[in-house]
Structure 1
């Protein structure tokens, strides 16, 4: 007898519906076709043990399992439950006339219980898109899958529950979640890290406020102990809360790699901080069977690269295109996958190899050759893509010993949210543009018009600092954000002046 069961394969961050056809004929053997990997090929052993332990049998017949489309590689153990239900129906051990209306996925243990799978969210989205009545998944994935409205999600503990559900012996209540309410409640959670803990450094905190308000990339430059890492790690505490669309998109990416926490909607913007030994593949994604890298896991959040010059130059260079296009494309011989990567890059570095170059109070010195070699690890084109270069100076004892707390993150966040609201309203008719850092050339010319005084100031800076065309655009974007923080319709000369000050590495004489 022939049976058809439906599962799903995850390709990139999107899912593809898979038809699992099971045919039982005379003879003795088990054939699994349709480009399965080793984990899928091993499923027959798990299925046989699981069926026996719940009171059913694995037919001692010739079983052919075809996974269509046959030219798409099937990976992982999540097809165990799909194939097992197909075998039971094809061998007429169960009668399940409605089984074709559901997408069924799950990894089987030998006792028949189910283990969680990766990619439950994109699988459910695809099932809804293809018109299925519902999805059946391990109960550990049910909260995550229930984020998709308009389709029934059934979380099950073992294969016995699935069998009895289709035979009408038991009823299973669909898992439901109010996505908007969940996001609203989660957004009220207080952050553990707060800018009130950072003493002094008011200028640097102002820079972080501007960066957060416009989604700008920022580089912090200062000696050890000046507070660069402490300041960077508190950036998420002033970022605006994610919208429902952003939360679902972010959760979807983390679902593919099995990193969804709390088994539901991601509650905070991601903050990724890879070690400087990271490889190019771990940063941008890829591999034999491509997975999202750190820049995609930081989508809608922050990617923090501590001690930037310690990263290998070739690793940093692969970020140039994603920083510009806000997506990364992984090309292989048989397929091409595109991952979203719209993130804020926050990097930190010492001003010299020993950390104290150009510090009059330090006895340590660094030669010009050492400095050239150290800064040569970071290319000019990469620095051009970082909107703001900010110096972080060490604090004197008097500032460190003050008992008074600084302005807290909630106060700063209110100003950031107000500025982001102005930008979202401004760009509401432009697809993919939500804040100033995403402005393209045509929109830059439309919304960053300068008066004569501002234009003359910028011209002087461009000439004196020998800035590139990309640096020119970055200054305009940052100036637009500074104006938005003041709720100013136009960019004024003092906005341009402040934005120019945030290009430390472009200033003549900064090093020597």
Structure 2
């Protein structure tokens, strides 16, 4: 008897429906074809044990299973349940004509229990697009799949539950997940708040500007000055994610298997990889490509602490994703694209010893040592970082002050208003959402300067020895400052503030 059941394969962040054809005929043998990997080839042992321990059996006949399309490589153990149901229907142990209306995925334990799978959300989205009635998967993944409306999502714990469902004996209910309610409930409870930070008012202002315009930022300061503390609080002042952004972000984390029963992601991601990370782990890839840290930070923040300690080749592979906001991984037989629109926040000491031009410092470094240390970061990478700011240690008077600083909620309201202005400005452009993404043509259009501002910028570039690459960055940042002030035009005071945020472009910075 020949039957068809359906599973799904995930490539990048998109799913492809897999048709599993099971044919049982006279003879002996178990033949699995259609480019399965070793994990799928081993499934026969798990399926046999799981069925036997639940009162069913693997028929002692010739079983031929084809996974179509046959030229597409299938990976992982998530097809166990698909194959098991196909075998049970083909052998007459399940009598149902409904099995081909559902996507069925799950890894079987030997007792028939189910282990979680990766990519449940993109699979559910594809199932809805192709008109399937429902989706059977492990209970641990049910919430993320239930985000998709108009699709019956059944989270099950044991193979017996799906057998009972198709036999008409079970009372299995679809999982309900109220996306909007869960999304709104989690908006105003950031784990870290700017009110915890003592002093550093100028740096907080700088972080607010970076958040408002989506600008990449680098913090330069000695140990203990608060660089990491400030960076960790940046997501709390970013505008709340839209439903579309939340779905995009959830889909990537679903593919990577990092959701852990949370359903829809509510908070913007904050990723902070160690400086020993490899370039594949950072941008994604591998023999079976997976999203890297820059994709896991999509719509959020990627924090690189002690930037010069990262290997130079690791930093260089970020240059293209920073510009294009996506990363493309090419192999001989396929190409995968992962989105990677993130804010880069980096921190570094100004010298190997950690202190800069401080005669009382416990460790001092010569100008040559400092130059060698800073040269680990290439010019093209710095060219993609809009804001450079020096962070100084907080004096005792500020640390001991009992008054609470401005909280993240109030800062975020100003940031959100500035982002709304930018959304209206770029409403007709699908590739630009905020000021940091502007190209040269848009900078010329939206950052027009009056004569006073133009002369100020010219004088600053000459006196402070600012490099030519700083010109566009200053204009972008000044446009964001103007948006925070609700100013239609970029004024001289906006230019003056933006000029302060290009420390590493000054030729005299090393003293």
Which TM-score bucket, shorter chain as reference?
Answer: over 0.9
Q: Where do residues 50-199 of structure 1 align in structure 2 (5 Å cutoff)? A: 50-188=50-188, 190-199=189-198
5+ long unaligned stretches in structure 1: none
Render the CA deviation track for 1:135-174: whole Å, top value 9, x for unaligned: 1111111111011112111111211111121122224222
In 2, the alpha carbon distance for the partners of 1:169 and 1:413 equals: 53
Higher mean C-alpha displacement, 125-134 vs 308-317: 125-134
Partner of 1:486: 485
Partner of 1:321: 320
Partner of 1:497: 496
CA contact (8 A) 1:19 1:67 kept: yes
2:199 is aligned with 1:200: yes
2:328 is aligned with 1:332: no
In 1, the alpha carbon distance for the partners of 2:500 and 2:466 equals: 13
In 2, the alpha carbon distance for the partners of 1:496 and 1:41 equals: 64
Render the CA deviation track for 1:326-372: whole Å, top value 9, x for unaligned: 00011111111110000000000000000112124326331222112
Cα distance, 1:118–1:5 mapped onto 2, change above 3 Å: same
Partner of 2:372: 373
Cα distance, 1:199–1:15 mapped onto 2, change above 3 Å: same
In 2, the alpha carbon distance for the partners of 1:209 and 1:486 equals: 12
2:454 is aligned with 1:455: yes
In 2, the alpha carbon distance for the partners of 1:471 and 1:69 equals: 52
Partner of 1:343: 342
Cα distance, 1:208–1:87 mapped onto 2, change above 3 Å: same
Please state how far the C-alpha of 1:497 moved relative to its aligned partner.
1.3
Render the CA deviation track for 1:24-43: whole Å, top value 9, x for unaligned: 12221111111111111110
5+ long unaligned stretches in structure 2: none
Partner of 2:445: 446
In 2, the alpha carbon distance for the partners of 1:2 and 1:462 equals: 76
In 1, the alpha carbon distance for the partners of 2:73 and 2:467 equals: 46
Matched positions, count: 511
In 2, the alpha carbon distance for the partners of 1:253 and 1:238 equals: 23
In 2, the alpha carbon distance for the partners of 1:292 and 1:98 equals: 35
Render the CA deviation track for 1:443-500: whole Å, top value 9, x for unaligned: 2222222222222222333445565554322211111110111111111111111111
Render the CA deviation track for 1:278-331: whole Å, top value 9, x for unaligned: 010110000001100000000000000000000000100100000111000111
In 2, the alpha carbon distance for the partners of 1:352 and 1:469 equals: 25
Please state how far the C-alpha of 1:435 moved relative to its aligned partner.
1.4
In 1, the alpha carbon distance for the partners of 2:495 and 2:88 equals: 71
2:6 is aligned with 1:25: no
Please state how far the C-alpha of 1:507 moved relative to its aligned partner.
1.7
Residue 374 of structure 1: SS of its match in structure 2? helix
Output the TM-score relative to the length of structure 1.
0.97
Partner of 1:393: 392
CA contact (8 A) 1:354 1:366 kept: yes
Alignment RMSD (CA, Å): 1.4
Q: Where do residues 171-320 of structure 1 align in structure 2 (5 Å cutoff)? A: 171-188=171-188, 190-320=189-319
Render the CA deviation track for 1:207-241: whole Å, top value 9, x for unaligned: 00101111110000001111111111111111111
Higher mean C-alpha displacement, 336-345 vs 263-272: 263-272
Partner of 1:41: 41
Please state how far the C-alpha of 1:58 moved relative to its aligned partner.
0.2
Please state how far the C-alpha of 1:106 moved relative to its aligned partner.
0.7
Render the CA deviation track for 1:371-424: whole Å, top value 9, x for unaligned: 121111100110110000000011222222222222121221111111112112
Residue 350 of structure 2: SS of its match in structure 1? coil
Residue 496 of structure 2: SS of its match in structure 1? helix
CA contact (8 A) 2:467 2:506 kept: no
Partner of 2:417: 418
CA contact (8 A) 2:141 2:261 kept: no
Cα distance, 1:10–1:363 mapped onto 2, change above 3 Å: closer
Cα distance, 1:469–1:179 mapped onto 2, change above 3 Å: farther
**Moved segments of 4+, more than 6 Å:** none
Partner of 1:435: 434
Residue 65 of structure 2: SS of its match in structure 1? strand
